[in-house]
């Protein structure tokens, strides 16, 4: 059975501190730590050149690193404005085009804000925008990178576990990106125990099926939150806010899941990804 994969979102502060400057050096650096995944960040726009992307992709293949890519943050799938909808498709297409030389198998996409819309209308719009994106990817023959819709940390934004599962259930080409930290924020600490994780995984299995749940894409970090949800990402050394990874590791291992876990800690994402990997591997050997 395939194992879970672990890695960071972007480069840790220690990567530069150790003298590395080029992203194509990241796969070897991560592999030396025993990590097996790396998520390339395009949150502020797709800016990586094709030549650099090819170098990163080749290094990732050489060192056994599974690549994923994060689409721009300013995508808003709940919009019904024609210009915004077209821009959304464009941002995803740019990301998918970069995914090819990177060798990225998964693309993480944010859902978008509710704004002045009702929740129901925002969800209807999101369903339609996701269809538009999948159609555009099909027409461009850019189907090698699976779209992963992410759960979000602010309560005013679409992206609860239930909403993401509903969206993913609509097309079997989609996967969820379950951000455990985000879900903990939007539920006021409601993802802190193994029982909470059990409820989440049961919801997913009952909505999108066991197989897609088993291979979910996932983000994890400690995140500060307030009554509106997410405030800022923290490190594992910051213990005032959770969630803790152990309950996730325990339940994922018990169910035989093989997700890709991407750590989004603030500056220590590679080091904290190693901690996550060690907790998970201890569980699968019990």
Are the C-beta atoms of 146 and 96 separated by less than 8 Å? no
Are the C-beta atoms of 202 and 251 separated by less than 8 Å? no
Structure confidence by residue, pLDDT tens digits, 34-90: 999 999 999 999 999 999 999 999 999 999 999 999 999 999 999 999 999 999 999
Q: Per-residue confidence at 285, pLDDT binned at 50, 70, 90?
A: confident
Domains and CATH numbers, the chain: 5-284 (3.20.20.150)
Identify the three-state secondary structure at position 255: coil
Identify the bridge partners of residue 31 per DSSP, sorted by sequence position.
none
Q: Per-residue confidence at 286, pLDDT binned at 50, 70, 90?
A: confident
Mean pLDDT for 97-124 is: 95
Distance from C-alpha of 136 to C-alpha of 109, rounded to nearest angstrom: 15
Whole-number pLDDT of residue 2 = 66
Mean pLDDT for 159-187 is: 98
Residue owning tokens 């369903």:
127
Are the C-beta atoms of 131 and 158 separated by less than 8 Å? no
Whole-number pLDDT of residue 16 = 96
Structure confidence by residue, pLDDT tens digits, 223-260: 999 999 999 999 999 999 999 999 999 999 999 999 99
Q: Per-residue confidence at 151, pLDDT binned at 50, 70, 90?
A: very high
Report how far apart, in Å, the C-alpha atoms of 153 and of each of 8, 159, 227 are: 19, 8, 11
pLDDT at 1 over 90: no
Are the C-beta atoms of 159 and 212 separated by less than 8 Å? no
Length of the chain: 286
Whole-number pLDDT of residue 162 = 98
DSSP 50-87: HHHHHHHHHHHHHTTPEEEEE--TT--TT---HHHHHH
Q: What is the mean pLDDT of the chain?
A: 96
Identify the three-state secondary structure at position 177: strand
């Amino acid at each position: 059975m395939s194992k879970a994969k672990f890695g960071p979102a972007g480069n840790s502060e220690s990567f530069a501190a150790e003298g590395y400057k080029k992203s194509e050096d990241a796969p070897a650096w991560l592999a030396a730590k025993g990590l097996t995944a790396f998520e390339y960040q395009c949150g502020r726009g797709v800016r990586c050149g094709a030549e650099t992307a090819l170098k990163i992709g080749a290094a990732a293949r050489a060192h056994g690193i599974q690549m994923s890519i994060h689409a721009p943050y300013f995508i808003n799938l709940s919009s019904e404005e024609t210009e915004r909808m077209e821009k959304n498709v464009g941002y995803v297409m740019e990301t998918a085009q970069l995914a090819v030389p990177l060798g990225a198998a998964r693309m993480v996409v944010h859902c978008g804000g509710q704004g002045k819309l009702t929740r129901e209308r925002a969800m209807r719009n999101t369903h339609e925008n996701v269809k538009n994106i999948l159609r555009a990817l099909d027409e461009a023959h850019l189907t090698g990178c699976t779209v992963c819709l992410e759960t979000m940390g602010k309560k005013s934004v679409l992206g609860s576990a239930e909403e993401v599962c509903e969206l993913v259930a609509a097309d079997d080409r989609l996967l969820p990106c379950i951000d455990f930290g985000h879900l903990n924020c939007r539920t006021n600490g409601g993802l802190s125990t193994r029982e909470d994780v059990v409820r989440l995984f049961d919801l997913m299995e009952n909505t999108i099926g066991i197989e897609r749940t088993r291979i979910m894409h996932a983000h994890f970090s400690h995140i500060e939150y307030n009554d509106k949800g997410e405030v800022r990402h923290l490190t594992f050394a910051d213990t005032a806010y959770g969630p803790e990874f152990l309950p996730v590791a325990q339940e994922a291992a018990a169910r035989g899941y093989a997700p890709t876990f991407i750590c989004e800690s603030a500056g220590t994402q590679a080091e904290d990804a190693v901690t996550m990997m060690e907790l998970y591997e201890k569980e699968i050997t019990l």
